[in-house]
Chains A and B, each alone.
Chain A
Amino acid sequence: MNEHSNIEKLGGCSEIPVLKERGQREVFCGLTGIIWLHRKIQDAFFLVVGSRTCAHLLQSAAGVMIFAEPRFGTAILEEKDLAGMADAHEELDREVANLLERRPDIKQLFLVGSCPSEVIKLDLSNAAERLSKIYFPKVKVLNFSGSGIETTFTQGEDACLASLVPTLKETDEENLILVGSLPDIVEDQLVELIKKLGIKEIAVLPGRDRGTMPSISKKSKFILVQPFLTDTTDALEKRGASRINAPFPFGEEGTTLWLRSIKESYGISDDKFEIVTSAPRKRAKLGLEKLRTSLQGKTIFFFPDSQLEIPLARFLSRECGMKLIEVGSPYINRSLVDKDLELIEDMPVISEGQDVDLQLDRCRESNPDITVCGLGLANPLEAEGLTTKWAIELVFTPIHGYEQAQDLAELFVRPLKRKEALFI
């Protein structure tokens, strides 16, 4: 199971060795993405076809249950479904009928595959097609897999967005599509900045409801706001849209480089770019300046979690002066994060995949000032004397763009400050 010390070179222009490991992975499965996706897409319901474990994961993953009836649920497979005593498709149709009757506000239904549904080869794309015939146009029925055997944590969002791409309306208009779900406030900020640059047709995938999903053409350009969108990128390119490659918009530098890539792609003048970005850049720099002293020279170790690790490591090392020890990521798609990788100096250990016990050994050995890890590891590591930052908070908190640069640094300052402040 452990192919540790298996160091491979990443191909291409940069010669960065990657430590690839296969062992116990302490990560979420893709179903977890539903926790934020169901809030982001306001007329969608996510119906997981899975087991009690899936249902239990969904209510446990966020640490607390969300008050109010959520727009997600699990159709729990039972013995009779597996033994072939019941036709699973008939059962699914019945549950969907009940659900849509109870929730007439639902306009998009995602059937979400899980480990058990994939192992028993329950064909959900077939089911989605069949159900679409019944409920379309009132309800659009799609499917994607959030299973742990196929996806890790944020790959669930990738799968979801990729499933939406073939359904986007075809036009021949030019537009710019921002891809990846962001908290509404951050999305609005970024869209406004881009508008100020003079680009009029801007759309966001995912749209907040079925009516605001972007349209697409061969002239469409798109730029990612999240680094984990490999399949979505492929699907968009397949429809003829072209990607603007950029570092991810974390921090002052990241956001500026991200916007600059758009500027260059559209041939916008330097003057205009300066006018639009100078004020927020200044604010972001000022905010970071205050926090930099707390982070300067501090060491950090990333356990794999969301694929945000490489862009965040770039931000923390370049903009906050932190020293990277190990940057672990569940999966590295070099073509999406190369712009961030190129900027990282003093290359740390970059690891892909995980053997959690070996990685814990390395972490303890290097004794970092901050360890970024999942909720299952945080308290045990704190109890051993290490200071930790919950990785999941980086997915649930507004951290992109100029106005959040300070908040992002603050997330790492807080555990350090707390450790200093406590006298017990």
Chain B
Amino acid sequence: MKLSIWTYEGPPHVGAMRVATAMEKLHFVLHAPQGDTYADLLFTMIERGNKRPPVTYTTFQARDLGADTADLFKKACKEAVERFKPEALLVGASCTAELIQDDPGGLADALNLEIPVIPLELPSYQRKENFGTDETFYQIVKALACPQEKTEKFSVNILGPTALGFRHRDDVRELKTILDDLKIDLNIVAPLGAAPSNIKNLTKAHANIMLYPESSELACRWLKENFGMSYTEHTPIGINSTKDFIEELNQIRGVKDSFSDTSRLNFDWWSKSVDSNYFTGKRVFIFGDATHVATASRIAKEEMAFSIVGIGCYNREYARKIRSLAKDLSVDALISDDYLEVEKRIADLQPELILGSQMERHIGKRLGIPCAVISAPFHVQDHPARFSPQVGWEGANVIFDTWVHPLVMGLEEHLLGMFREDFEFNDTAGPSHLSNSKSKLNQEKDTKADNEIIWAPEATKELKKIPFFVRGKAKRNTEKFAFENGHSAITKDLLYEAKAHYAR
């Protein structure tokens, strides 16, 4: 038993729903108690879905238990097939139905339906949402893919985009443009927009693009083992990762060079322009799903010249990848789905910017630290109407804008510093383009007296002149410096000695 306040991932059947909802002409019958239908609103509200997820829930109640839940399931299957006429049927159980052990796969089989039935094993008490997407898509591919003649020209499938994925819809569109530039034919995108009948034809392609390992690694590996289809391992998010991805595609295709039109790319010049000077060494903490964290780390380090103070991911499946990346970056990796643990780590590290999920945005608000969203889970506001991919050249542009947005801009930072004591134009006002970014928590922390080390009034006054987004760090560093050097009181001079000591 483990106490959870907020969760990063839903249960595995929600992952299965993300695959089913992304696809066409597929229906999912989920053995689940009344109430589990809440999951529909994730799709209809957060993604503003204009149709119901293709899911029939048995919604059994207490009076059904022990009596006829198995019949209920069979009836639901039959009726769903009659009403929705899918090309294939997914069947599975949510956490409660797993306990009553009705065996949805066996029950559906006994119905002798004319369409393929794909049973899912989704261990709710061990695994989570991302596993559910990966496993479901893998089971669909395994059940339906069959040998086909390859297309004449070199072609690829894009595998991994699902419903409720962070910017998946837009990533696919950007990636299609890049494939066009590269003169590579696209065979099938799946699960997003694919029907079961399309899955049969996956093997016509020569290779697969594993766009998001979280939702397509099992399928990509199986297609490689069984049909010899190579797959890309670089996720094309960020300038350098996109370049590596194209290079990887070239290798798979057996060509030396290829042309991709980068005239749309602005990120590189934006980052080189003088206004971006102040990004140098900005201390960032990065947390989210492993794929987005890994690509964001590279962008932060190489393409923004930020200084990374910590990284982590909530999906344990990719812990090894994130740990090894952290080692390369000489920071600690935090592998956790405990929101409070992540909050504590951020409070300890006092970064100047958080790149995270909706959860970290909450943490950032509490701690008064700006945050940009780079990963699911996300808020309805992070599913914008405009085209805003993460992948490819346009994705890089979007990322630049998104990450810079919560920060105070170059000269503005200096002005805020100069006029800090102006009652209107002061740092509590925050960046001029954001309405409110001041945290109450930091204010409390600032004024709280420390029991061990005393702050002289002039030093406290001086501390308040330090921009709010580094004040916490400066306070901690000064106290640490004072403690290590045997001072029991902090004077203004000591504050500056500490500053010199920790200068980067």
Binding site for B on A (CB under 8 A): 1-2, 23-32, 47, 49, 51-53, 55-57, 59-61, 63-65, 67-70, 73-79, 81-82, 86, 88, 91-92, 94-95, 98-99, 115-116, 118-120, 147-150, 152, 357, 374-380, 382-383
Note all chain A residues with C-beta closer than 8 A to B57: 24
Contact A380 B42, CB 8 Å, known A56-B14, A86-B1, A148-B35: no
Asked if B358 and A51 sit within 8 Å, CB to CB, the answer is: no
Asked if B96 and A51 sit within 8 Å, CB to CB, the answer is: yes
Note all chain B residues with C-beta closer than 8 A to A118: 62
Given contacts A52-B128, A77-B125, 19 further A-B contacts (CB under 8 A): A1-B75, A1-B76, A24-B56, A24-B76, A25-B34, A26-B37, A31-B35, A32-B38, A52-B4, A53-B95, A59-B7, A67-B365, A67-B366, A75-B1, A95-B2, A119-B65, A378-B44, A380-B44, A383-B50
Note all chain A residues with C-beta closer than 8 A to B59: 23-25, 148
Asked if B1 and A79 sit within 8 Å, CB to CB, the answer is: no
Q: Which of B5, B33, B51, B128 contacts A29 (CB 8 A)?
A: B33
Main secondary structure of the interface of B (DSSP, over half): mixed
Contact A73 B3, CB 8 Å, known A24-B57, A52-B128, A149-B34: yes
Contact with A along B41-67 (1 / 0, CB 8 A): 110110011111000111111100100
Note all chain A residues with C-beta closer than 8 A to B61: 148-150
Cα distance A116–B36 in the bound complex, in angstroms: 12
Cα distance A190–B33 in the bound complex, in angstroms: 38
- For the complex of A and B, 10 pairs with smallest distance between CB atoms: A29-B35, A148-B35, A376-B40, A383-B50, A91-B1, A115-B96, A375-B41, A51-B95, A148-B34, A56-B10
Note all chain A residues with C-beta closer than 8 A to B259: none
Instruction: Name the distance in Å between A26's Cβ and chain B's nearest Cβ.
Output: 5
Cα distance A88–B1 in the bound complex, in angstroms: 7
Does B79 count as interface, using CB distance less than 8 angstroms?
A: yes
Most buried by A among B13, B41, B362: B41
Instruction: Name the distance in Å between A377's Cβ and chain B's nearest Cβ.
Output: 7
Asked if B44 and A70 sit within 8 Å, CB to CB, the answer is: no
Which B residue's beta carbon lies closest to that of A115?
Answer: B96
Note all chain B residues with C-beta closer than 8 A to A119: 65, 96, 99-100
Asked if B366 and A68 sit within 8 Å, CB to CB, the answer is: yes
Note all chain A residues with C-beta closer than 8 A to B83: 357
Does B435 count as interface, using CB distance less than 8 angstroms?
A: no
Note all chain A residues with C-beta closer than 8 A to B51: 380, 383
Note all chain B residues with C-beta closer than 8 A to A24: 37, 56-59, 76
Most buried by A among B6, B38, B61, B362: B38
Asked if A81 and B99 sit within 8 Å, CB to CB, the answer is: no
Q: Which of B5, B35, B358, B379 contacts A27 (CB 8 A)?
A: B35
Contact with A along B124-159 (1 / 0, CB 8 A): 111010000000000000000000000000000000
Note all chain B residues with C-beta closer than 8 A to A374: 41
Note all chain B residues with C-beta closer than 8 A to A152: 34-35
Cα distance A74–B36 in the bound complex, in angstroms: 16
Q: Which of A25, A98, A116 contacts B99 (CB 8 A)?
A: A116
Asked if B33 and A147 sit within 8 Å, CB to CB, the answer is: yes
Does B104 count as interface, using CB distance less than 8 angstroms?
A: no
Which B residue's beta carbon lies closest to that of A53?
Answer: B11
Cα distance A61–B42 in the bound complex, in angstroms: 9
Does B456 count as interface, using CB distance less than 8 angstroms?
A: no
Residues in B65-101 with C-beta less than 8 Å from chain A = 65, 72, 75-76, 79, 83, 94-96, 99-100
Which A residue's beta carbon lies closest to that of B340?
Answer: A69
Instruction: Name the distance in Å between A384's Cβ and chain B's nearest Cβ.
Output: 9
Instruction: Name the distance in Å between A56's Cβ and chain B's nearest Cβ.
Output: 4
Asked if A149 and B62 sit within 8 Å, CB to CB, the answer is: yes
Q: Which of A28, A74, A149 contacts B4 (CB 8 A)?
A: A74
Asked if B1 and A59 sit within 8 Å, CB to CB, the answer is: no
Note all chain A residues with C-beta closer than 8 A to B125: 51, 77-79, 81-82
Note all chain B residues with C-beta closer than 8 A to A95: 1-3
Cα distance A26–B100 in the bound complex, in angstroms: 21
Q: Which of A67, A147, A376 contacts B41 (CB 8 A)?
A: A376
Most buried by A among B35, B39, B40, B123: B35
Q: List 21 A-B contacts (CB under 8 A).
A: A1-B79, A2-B79, A27-B35, A29-B33, A51-B11, A51-B96, A55-B6, A63-B45, A64-B380, A68-B366, A81-B1, A81-B125, A82-B99, A98-B3, A147-B33, A148-B59, A149-B34, A149-B60, A375-B40, A376-B41, A378-B44
Note all chain B residues with C-beta closer than 8 A to A53: 10-11, 13-14, 36, 94-96, 124
Asked if B1 and A76 sit within 8 Å, CB to CB, the answer is: yes
Q: Which of A65, A75, A116 contacts B362 (CB 8 A)?
A: A65
Asked if A60 and B42 sit within 8 Å, CB to CB, the answer is: yes
Asked if A76 and B4 sit within 8 Å, CB to CB, the answer is: yes
Asked if A380 and B7 sit within 8 Å, CB to CB, the answer is: no
Cα distance A1–B35 in the bound complex, in angstroms: 17
Cα distance A24–B59 in the bound complex, in angstroms: 6
Residues in B207-222 with C-beta less than 8 Å from chain A = none
Asked if B124 and A52 sit within 8 Å, CB to CB, the answer is: yes
Which B residue's beta carbon lies closest to that of A95?
Answer: B3
